[in-house]
Amino acid sequence: MNIVVRLLSVSLPFLILLPFGIGLWLKNQPDRNDFHYFFYGYLSALALSFYFAMRATRDIVRPLRSLLGRIRTFPREVQNSDGTSPVPEIAQVVRSTDDFMERLRTQVTDLTVEKDLLGSMLNGLHEGVICLDREGTIVFQNQTMQTDIVEPAAVGKPYFKVVKSSELLEYIRESLKRDPLQPNPEPFEFSRPGAHLTATFSSVVFQGMPQLFLVIVHDDTQEFNTRRLREDFLQNASHELKTPITSIRGYAETLLYRTEDPQKAGFLSAVLRNVERMERLIEDMLTISKIESRSFPFQPEKLNLHEYMHRIADLVNGFLRRKEQTLNVKIAPDVQYLVADPLLLEHLLINLLDNASRYSPEGGAVTVQFYSEGKRIRIDVIDEGPGVPREFREKVFERFFRADRNRSRAEGGSGLGLSIVRQITRIHGGTVSVLEGPDSGARFSVSLPG
């Protein structure tokens, strides 16, 4: 039926216009047979009309119809049985479309392989994974996700209908309300009978808009139990060690004050120095254990930096005075306040200043600078020591790492101060690094949210 319609549509102009042309021609002929000429002329016009219609169907309609069939069956490949059109424009359209579909078919195949590979990788993880779209509908759920946390076969359903854990549900709801361009929220810890879990939330942003959201649930029950055992051990060990250490300090101080023998006084002074070192080590071990277990309360508040640093200066004055060092505090005019936990920030600054004092020479200076860096506040602690070699700048924040073991032991450091600094910085959502000082020495730089 379509072919007939096309033939009539092409033939109609000839059938209408040609009789008028023949009539005008006959009108000017001296000897004419009107019916004879008109009849044969009309048949000729009709034959020409059908001829052009067939040519149009063969050269234009059939290639386009074949192309349309291949588009409808895409990405399945269908052989073109009608060949190409002799019309250059139509042939170019067919070739360009075929080339485009071939490239697109290759891309679809690659994406399918990558999707299957990604699905296999996610299903092989020990962590449970669910993926949500912007409407909150689950589009993927791996096989590891525990059924008592998220219902099985949850794909295609809203997350609030399939997430069984009320704590995880609230965490997802609050995370979805956050600005996707902001850093991802902190890992969320929650429990269920006999297990301790950690959930992380991350956004997949494309062209400034979130497209997908990933929720990963990790079962860290074993790590949690190990951590609790370690904390209990450290607390019990510190309690048991403090009593004999206090006794040793008392006896050593009593004997030191009563002896006049220089050799005995030297031995007793060495005993006291090692007692102080053991006390610092125990305190640092307890502090970092509390910080890592999050049992240390995190209560940020708005701090006036001038008043706060005046209090810090009083606390560090003791070990600075022993080496006749000075403390320089520089606060930029546009940085007057900082939102942080005052007790944790105190631990951070004291550890950095103590580290700077140990490595700076006697009579030197330790500098603390506060200045803004975009939407963040940067704290620099600068010493006048030998600096930190480039190959050790990442390792200095590890527990008990010493770039110069002999000097560190002579200075009496516990090896945990910088590790405490890194943990406190992470709790505040910041970063810490060590760079070269402006003149010499090291510059420990802490970047915190403003």
Judge contact between 133 and 139, C-beta under 8 A.
yes
Residues 347 and 400 placed together within one structural domain of the fold: yes
pTM given for the model: 0.53
What is the per-residue pLDDT for 19? 57
Residue 30 lies in a domain: yes
Measure the CA–CA gap between 290 and 295, rounded to whole angstroms: 5
pLDDT confidence of residue 118 = 73
Cis link prior to 75 (omega < 30° from 0)?
Answer: yes
How confident is the model at residue 1, as a pLDDT? Answer: 41
Same structural domain for residues 213 and 99? no
Domain containing residue 409: CATH number: 3.30.565.10
Predicted confidence (pLDDT) per residue in 203-234, tens digit: 887 777 778 888 888 888 888 788 778 777 77
Domain annotation covers residue 163: yes
pLDDT for residue 4: 45
Q: How far apart are CA 219 and CA 127, in angstroms?
A: 7
Asked if residue 111 belongs to a domain, the reply is no
Taking 70 as the pLDDT cut, the residues of the chain under it are 1-59, 77-87, 180-181, 183-184, 292-296, 400-415, 450
311-370 pLDDT per residue, tens: 988 888 888 888 888 889 998 888 888 889 888 898 899 889 988 888 888 888 889 999
Mark whether 323 and 436 lie in a shared domain: yes
Taking a C-beta distance cutoff of 8 angstroms, is the pair 399, 287 a contact?
A: no
| Side chain identity, residue 353 | L
3-state SS, one letter per residue, for 124-144: CCCCEEEEEECCCEEEEECCC
Q: What share of the chain is helix, strand, coil (3-state, %, to 5)?
A: 55, 20, 25
Domain boundary among 219, 237, 270: 219
Half-sphere CA count of 119, side-chain side, radius 13 A: 9
Same domain, 334 and 416: yes
Per-residue pLDDT, 370: 92
Same domain, 315 and 432: yes
Q: Quick check: 297 and 334 in contact, CB under 8 A?
A: no
List the 376-382 sheet strands across, edge first. Answer: 326-331, 365-373, 376-382, 442-449, 431-436
| Inside any domain, residue 116 | no
Instruction: Tell which residue, 436, 325, 439, 441, has the closest CA to residue 385.
Output: 441
- Buried residues in 333-352 as b, exposed as e (16+ CB within 10 A): eebeebebbeebbbbbbbbb
**Residues 202 and 247 reside in one and the same domain:** no
Residue 113 lies in a domain: no
Per DSSP, the chain holds a count of helices (H) and strands (E) of: 12, 12
Q: Is residue 112 part of a domain?
A: no
What's the structural domain count of the chain? 4
Whether residue 150 is contained in a domain is answered as yes
Q: Which of 44, 75, 106 is the last residue of a domain?
A: 106
pLDDT of residue 368: 92
Whether residues 266 and 378 fall in one domain: no
Domain residue limits at 53: 2-106
Q: Say how far apart CA 268 and CA 251 lie, in whole Å.
A: 9
Say how many C-beta atoms besides its own lie within 10 A of residue 425's C-beta.
21
Please indicate, yes or no, whether residues 236 and 367 belong to a single structural domain of this protein: no
431 shares a domain with 321: yes
- pLDDT of 165-201, one tens digit each? 888 888 888 888 877 667 667 788 888 888 888 888 8
